[in-house]
Amino acid sequence: MPKAIPESMGLYKQRLLPSNTPDSNDGWWQVDSPRRVPQVVDDMHAQLERQGWPVLGRLLERDEMLDRIRQGDLGFWRKENVPGYFATAEALLLMDAGPSRALDEQLALVRATSTAAQVESADRFVRWVRQQAESAT
């Protein structure tokens, strides 16, 4: 494990956008003069309050995170595009409850969605999760 966790290892990814950004647009805050800084900072703060902190608060609750994973919504990530990513996340949340059919289904999906280059790593992950699940009971 790295000493510092990079953004790329995060499970949930979703950008906050400036207020009034159309749904079809990927907006960015624009600071084109020093006078504009307070307005931009106020909007960033408002977006954190409106859309950032509430989502983060829910994701810190285990059952909420599990529901989000099962719904296939981790912000930028969608289950239909990366099912193995979601199966990995769900398996990690399920392993603490011990062995189960639901855990077996997710581990099978992790293995089934692995590329040839990922099979060895997926197999190590599956073995490790099964060990953790066994020790949880």
C-beta atoms surrounding 45 within 10 Å: 11
> Residues 7-25: pLDDT tens digits?
877 889 999 999 988 877 8
Angle at 74 between CA 108 and CA 3, to 5 degrees: 85
Put simply, whether the predicted model's pTM sits higher than 0.85 gets the answer: no
Is residue 20 left, alpha or beta, with left meaning phi > 0 and alpha meaning psi from -120 to 50?
left
C-beta atoms surrounding 42 within 10 Å: 11
Say how many Å lie between the first and final Cα of the chain, rounded.
26
- Provide the pLDDT for residue 1: 59
Answer whether 26's CB lies under 8 Å from 17's CB. yes
Angle at 49 between CA 46 and CA 53, to 5 degrees: 145
d(C-alpha 68, C-alpha 60), whole Å: 11
Answer whether 109's CB lies under 8 Å from 87's CB. yes
Confidence of residue 100 (pLDDT cuts 50, 70, 90): very high
SS3 78: strand
Confidence of residue 60 (pLDDT cuts 50, 70, 90): very high
State the chain's mean pLDDT as an integer.
Answer: 93
- Provide the pLDDT for residue 116: 95
- Provide the pLDDT for residue 137: 80
- Answer whether residue 124 shows pLDDT above 80: yes
Answer whether 69's CB lies under 8 Å from 88's CB. no
> Residues 61-86: pLDDT tens digits?
999 999 999 999 999 999 999 999 99
